[in-house]
Structure 1
């Protein structure tokens, strides 16, 4: 803004004492001081406000004005509230150095002038920055040379003095200011993400203001092309659920400032910045297309019962994409996720009870959440960027399935507690996602053990699905279970009524007990030993001191009497439960 505009604003109570020919000077900021030498706090272009406490006699005016002029100050305004009229020696000193001088009426507070100048200057800067942002948007939409969201955040910092971060819905940092390298603390990022998801469910337009400790943040949603244009409080319950699901995958722009009293120009600018960041978000989503397609192809082969050789061939195609530069064949893990929503007839109480649904439309949001969850904890030690490039997630109906490669070069598959761990998956994301699901949604995940060949993928998929069912039996909005828990007491399901447990056990084991009584065949001990040996024919035969062929005969008889298949994980688990509950 220009000095002339200040003088023409009656509410500011300014009276020109000298420098009429300099009123076209530009004001870029404002500073209040009574220091004799404020030069260290000046950067040029300021309107300096002073109460004249620095002046002890007439000789002080000349050096004070010389210091201001040397620092590039635009003008000086002296208050008349404390010491009366502006002294003539100051007027003369400003005249000699061509520094415009104003008198501030005693009824006007310096804060009034400061607020006016800051608001006007910010509006002008916002206009200039808007033009820059618009140019950057055109660059990003026309090619890859735009530079990503970091460039826009740097512009916000340099032109508007706004420190800002882009966060994922779980609070994972996507981009931040590069100039000062400021890092948002993890607990603050998690809190902001939770507030963002909770506010987004209401359908209210951002920004949403959140105070964490002494700092206020303004949260602007970053909505990509996936976002439905429905209102969360609309009459259509299905449309409202679509919005709630979409919120779970929205990024957010967290600005370290209180936007409550911002001018419309600045708010519009920040909304424009979110649209620009959304372009980058959509671009990153598009980059996942190949990995998603590979995962979909492998999943379809596994579920169709394709030959291991055919699955292995597809994995050889996928491995270079997911693990570029890794020569050795990786181990793989399978992670299954499902998002379910209450249907409105029965509200959940957090215990897992209640009426819920997860239609086919839940698959994409489960897919997006699973991709984000697998990146967020970086449980294998890889960086977020590296890990994001190694995740292939497909969806089948309401279920999302991730194929996670574990590099043989990194040793991620070594040991029983390696690779992706169920507890680690939820450690960083439980708080924000619980806020996003609130009181009508649930997210459950299951994690398989690592397998080293295509032949093991079908079992890994079933193992992950069973683990997810264990997680679904727990309380809470966001739950996960790993393969380790499939052989623990949690599967005994103590909340199942006794008569149901007895009927289940009798139906499965009574045919074997009857046969053992009649033929002394020891089918029950054989079954127990076979399960304890993890289905290994050699170990089980050695343990029972039997020939392998004899063991195969007994297992075949068990399968014939019960109608079960001990090569299937589901049937092994049923026998395991029945034996433990008998």
Structure 2
């Protein structure tokens, strides 16, 4: 209730002494106190009733009112057994913009408390009824024939004067009015918040699916205002709105639809090397052109991402790519695989999805990650090879120490691909046998043999360039290389031994 409503309470008969300009403040509760500094017992929004027992002199009024103002009390109502309120109390209330009401001598504080609480309870019941009514309208609107989230958000804005937006974890706007807030900034706040909901940059951010779903696989709701200042009813409405958005997102999930099942079947047929007579008609049924050219994209996720969520994340990432037909998405074991129709020559699909991957990276700061591989562009008849190429590239990406990583097909024609396919125990044994003697020697003698070896190989065995880069005399480099050969039994003039050392360093 507002402070001005106190003046209309028939049994309380409160009279305003000062604070005419503050009567639109809200009253949350009523507290009676005679402590000189009661701030620790206040939570904000209270009507404070006092008999001024705390006042032993004029200076006490300043102490008392300052404590109320600091605690966020809405107003003060004071009464004396006889006489008017002291001038020093009135002056302190004016100084701190604290509305002051006078309580009549024959009105008990209990009467005021009972009447205000009764009024507050009735107002909250009315608010709850309104919230439930809005909820019913929201649900009816969301499920009534595909009006979409836009109409639901318009209803909230019209009822509450609170604009809301639905965004993807990449910062993409899903639904909401103009002007749109900074989606990238809000997405980062959503992905990195220690708890939700949380206020950020003038809006409050709510998860849609809740904590059971990793944030990188969720949408989020941004509503105007600071959630920490909201009433219980408004917070409840925002939570209900998030639930409705979750239902809408589930409705848009095509995994169980005819199109989704067709996409899954198509991806499996391609991976199983089905013939063109099976692939072409399914491409057409999926809305793709069998005569066009395609790229395959494979993705795997770490941490808490489940296969269905991984598929949703890959779909979100590919949603940032300008493409006429929507990509076909399916699952192969724990991998999500997409077939993307590529229009135009010279397209860098990996580069086009990189911004979306970068936007998701903060969501993997506490563990997990997203590894993506992208194939070359091929005709429909070569899709199986493209899928295999994308999956190999994905494995290479998964071996790199980065929260998100994308590897292009052209990175597969290097030694790195071979190293990525070697079992971990073999990689470890190979590295230990070649490099551990050098590292042990370096630990004891500070000889810098490993760094010398790496520089020597980087400069293709040139003594002069290696010496120049290490700021050493050529004879010092020769001495170190001789020591490396003595410790390992290898000959760095031989190409095969140089290759072994090069690979061991890349494995290290």
TM normalised by structure 2 equals 0.58
How far is the alpha carbon of 1:126 from its aligned partner? 7.4
Asked whether the equivalents of residues 333 and 448 of structure 1 are also in contact (C-alpha less than 8 Å), the reply is yes
User: Does residue 364 of the first structure (1) align with residue 308 of the second (2)?
Assistant: yes
Equivalent in the alignment of 2:198: 208
Task: Summarize deviations over 1:143-194 as a string: whole Å, max 9, x none.
Answer: 315x2222232233333332321111222111112xxx11112432332332
Number of residue pairs matched?
349
Change (3 A) 1:188 1:11: farther
User: Does residue 435 of the first structure (1) align with residue 362 of the second (2)?
Assistant: yes
SS at match of 2:352: helix
Asked whether the equivalents of residues 297 and 373 of structure 2 are also in contact (C-alpha less than 8 Å), the reply is yes
* Equivalence map 1:172-251=2 (5 Å): 172-177=172-177, 181-195=178-192, 198-199=193-194, 206-210=196-200, 215-223=201-209, 243=212, 246-251=214-219
How many angstroms apart in 1 are the aligned matches of 2:125 and 2:185?
29
Equivalent in the alignment of 2:149: 149
SS at match of 1:429: helix
How many angstroms apart in 2 are the aligned matches of 1:3 and 1:138?
37
How many angstroms apart in 1 are the aligned matches of 2:124 and 2:357?
36
How many angstroms apart in 1 are the aligned matches of 2:295 and 2:207?
33
Change (3 A) 1:124 1:270: farther
Equivalent in the alignment of 1:162: 162
Task: Summarize deviations over 1:39-73 as a string: whole Å, max 9, x none.
Answer: xxxxxxxxxxxxxxxxxxxxxxxxxxxxxxxxxxx
Equivalent in the alignment of 2:139: 137
How many angstroms apart in 2 are the aligned matches of 1:157 and 1:331?
45
Equivalent in the alignment of 1:449: 376
* Equivalence map 1:254-265=2 (5 Å): 254-265=222-233
Equivalent in the alignment of 1:459: 385
How far is the alpha carbon of 1:265 from its aligned partner? 1.2
Change (3 A) 1:152 1:7: farther
Unaligned 5+ residue runs, structure 1? 18-27, 32-103, 233-242, 342-357, 407-411, 504-576
Equivalent in the alignment of 1:309: 277
More deviation in 392-401 or 282-291?
282-291
Change (3 A) 1:492 1:310: closer
SS at match of 2:243: helix
Equivalent in the alignment of 2:334: 398
How far is the alpha carbon of 1:217 from its aligned partner? 2.9
How many angstroms apart in 2 are the aligned matches of 1:6 and 1:304?
77
> What's the Cα RMSD here?
4.5
Asked whether the equivalents of residues 298 and 374 of structure 2 are also in contact (C-alpha less than 8 Å), the reply is yes
SS at match of 1:441: coil
How far is the alpha carbon of 1:273 from its aligned partner? 1.2
How far is the alpha carbon of 1:426 from its aligned partner? 2.8
Change (3 A) 1:246 1:268: same
TM normalised by structure 1 equals 0.51
Task: Summarize deviations over 1:88-126 as a string: whole Å, max 9, x none.
Answer: xxxxxxxxxxxxxxxx9973765769xxx9xx9999677
Equivalent in the alignment of 1:339: 301
Change (3 A) 1:124 1:159: farther
Change (3 A) 1:14 1:185: farther
User: Does residue 486 of the first structure (1) align with residue 412 of the second (2)?
Assistant: yes
Asked whether the equivalents of residues 371 and 394 of structure 2 are also in contact (C-alpha less than 8 Å), the reply is yes
How many angstroms apart in 1 are the aligned matches of 2:160 and 2:267?
49
SS at match of 2:379: coil
How far is the alpha carbon of 1:287 from its aligned partner? 8.0
Change (3 A) 1:477 1:498: closer
How many angstroms apart in 2 are the aligned matches of 1:162 and 1:105?
38
Instruction: Identify which of structures 1 and 2 has the higher relative contact order when contacts are C-alpha pairs closer than 8 Å and 6+ apart.
Output: 1
SS at match of 1:296: helix
SS at match of 2:376: coil
SS at match of 2:217: coil
How far is the alpha carbon of 1:249 from its aligned partner? 1.9
Asked whether the equivalents of residues 6 and 14 of structure 2 are also in contact (C-alpha less than 8 Å), the reply is no
Asked whether the equivalents of residues 191 and 216 of structure 2 are also in contact (C-alpha less than 8 Å), the reply is no
Change (3 A) 1:424 1:490: farther
Change (3 A) 1:127 1:458: same
How far is the alpha carbon of 1:283 from its aligned partner? 1.5
Task: Summarize deviations over 1:312-368 as a string: whole Å, max 9, x none.
Answer: 2322322xxx35xx7x83222211111123xxxxxxxxxxxxxxxx9xx83212111
How far is the alpha carbon of 1:4 from its aligned partner? 7.3
Task: Summarize deviations over 1:458-495 as a string: whole Å, max 9, x none.
Answer: 10011101111221222211111111322357547599
Asked whether the equivalents of residues 295 and 394 of structure 1 are also in contact (C-alpha less than 8 Å), the reply is yes
User: Does residue 330 of the first structure (1) align with residue 292 of the second (2)?
Assistant: yes
SS at match of 2:154: helix
Asked whether the equivalents of residues 254 and 260 of structure 2 are also in contact (C-alpha less than 8 Å), the reply is no
How many angstroms apart in 1 are the aligned matches of 2:364 and 2:309?
12
How many angstroms apart in 2 are the aligned matches of 1:189 and 1:122?
32
Asked whether the equivalents of residues 164 and 223 of structure 2 are also in contact (C-alpha less than 8 Å), the reply is yes
* Equivalence map 1:383-532=2 (5 Å): 390-406=326-342, 412-415=343-346, 417-418=347-348, 421-431=349-359, 433-453=360-380, 455-487=381-413, 491=417, 493=419, 500=430
How many angstroms apart in 1 are the aligned matches of 2:293 and 2:274?
19
